Amino acid sequence: MEGILPLYKPKGLTSHDCVFKVRKIFKTKKVGHTGTLDPEVTGVLPICIGRATKIAEYITDAGKAYEGEVTIGYSTTTEDATGEIVEEKDLTRSFSKEEIVSILDSFKGTIQQTPPMYSAVKVKGKKLYEYARAGIEVERPTRNVTIYDIELLDDRQMFEGKNISFRFRVKCSKGTYIRTLAVMIGEALGYPAHMSDLIRTESASFHLQDCVTFEQLEELKNQERLSEVLLPLENGLSHLPKFEISDKVAEKVKNGAVLEKPIADMFQSEEPFVLIWNGLALAIYQVHPTKPEYIKPVKVLRNE
């Protein structure tokens, strides 16, 4: 059995827990997830099964979309609702909808983020959360991420009270920490803040409405209909450029051959692209790094 399972990740499970459960349900060891979701976060977690595990990294690298809630008034150790309170500050003023929309708009584009201490980012071979649990503070790498779009999901004209919370929708690049974004929104408003809720609504071409729950999977397993929920691995490559090839070229591609660039100006960037034969993704290629007139395989997906 092979394909991509658009799983709805429930609260309380790690991404690895989900992989473990899927292995048991599908009775196969060749299973991999496509990007870590914190235990408290729900939503879209594409799981690759069988041959589809070869393309997991391309789904991980694609854009994501989330719906979250930021609470202004106090910050936490983990930057979400599970952590201990670090700083608390009652709101002494109200905010208009226009002010909040303006702050959210200011984050569109490329921004710099420093990953939270309670995260899986590795420093000197250890995950940051391992240092955090040991009470050790280490220097964290700052990185650039892209916010493609962000919008307020609240119709109130004024926001007031000791603490205020509001929901927002964001489309972003790989590596964006929404927890950290919530903290940054609070800082821009002049108050400590944290992310109080989060759901991932999109990952690459997979959407919330496409997802199946573990309860549904158990039901399908009992009916011997599990294969019905698996999507072709091609779905996980829909965001990459495609190029149709002939039968003759297909034989070479299956063997991982370096090929002359089909059309001189077709592939100018270093971005990988997919070679398609009879509707099937045979391989992922890229322009040769030292011989720009050629293309070379990054990964052969089908060789039969």
| Measured distance CA(65)–CA(240) in Å, rounded | 18
254-302 residue pLDDT tens: 999 999 887 545 556 678 999 999 999 999 999 888 988 889 999 999 9
Task: Report the pLDDT averaged over residues 234-241.
Answer: 92
Note if 38 is an active site residue.
yes
For residue 206 the two structure tokens come to 């997979």
Pairing of strands 143-152, 109-113: antiparallel
For residue 9 the two structure tokens come to 């990740």
173-195 residue pLDDT tens: 988 999 999 999 999 999 999 99
Q: What is the pLDDT of residue 216?
A: 97
Q: Which residues are paired to 244 by β-bridges?
A: 276
Q: Pick 175 or 222 by higher pLDDT.
A: 222
Q: What is the pLDDT of residue 36?
A: 83
Q: What is the pLDDT of residue 230?
A: 96
Q: What contacts 24+ positions apart, CB below 8 Å, involve 105-111?
A: 105/150, 106/188, 107/147, 107/150, 107/181, 107/184, 107/185, 108/147, 108/148, 108/149, 108/150, 109/146, 109/147, 110/144, 110/145, 110/146, 111/144, 111/145, 111/146, 111/147, 111/184
Q: What is the pLDDT of residue 265?
A: 54
**For the CA atoms of the chain, what is the radius of gyration?**
22
In the DSSP assignment, the letter for residue 50 is: G
- Is the per-residue pLDDT at 74 higher than 70? yes
193-216 residue pLDDT tens: 999 999 999 999 999 999 999 999
CB atoms within 10 A of CB 227: 11
Q: Which of 38, 90, 197, 210 is catalytic?
A: 38
11-28 residue pLDDT tens: 999 999 999 999 999 999
Q: Which residues are paired to 75 by β-bridges?
A: 87
Of 221, 235, 173, 169, the C-alpha closest to 197 is: 169
- Is the per-residue pLDDT at 156 higher than 90? yes
pTM for this predicted structure: 0.89
80-130 residue pLDDT tens: 999 889 899 999 999 999 999 999 999 999 999 977 766 666 767 777 677
